[in-house]
Amino acid sequence: MILIKKTLDEISNNFLTLGDESVSQIEEASKLIIKSLQGGGKIMFCGNGGSAADAQHLSAELVGRYMRNRKPLASLALTTDTSTITAISNDFSFDDIFSRQLEAIGNEGDILYAISTSSKSKNVIAALNTAKNLKIKTIGVTGSDDSGFKDLCDIIISAPASRPDRIQEMHIAIGQIICEILELELC
Q: What is the CATH number of the domain that holds 134?
A: 3.40.50.10490
Q: 7-33 pLDDT, tens per residue?
A: 999 888 888 888 788 899 999 999 999
Let me know: does 111 contact 137? Beta carbons within 8 Å.
yes
Cα 35 from Cα 145, distance rounded (Å): 28
Let me know: does 33 contact 178? Beta carbons within 8 Å.
yes
Domain that holds residue 130: 2-186
Cα 105 from Cα 114, distance rounded (Å): 16
Number of folded domains that form the chain: 1
Cα 106 from Cα 79, distance rounded (Å): 15
Q: 149-185 pLDDT, tens per residue?
A: 999 999 999 999 989 999 999 999 999 999 999 999 9
Residues 6 or more apart in contact with residue 161 via CB below 8 angstroms: 14, 143, 144, 167, 169, 170
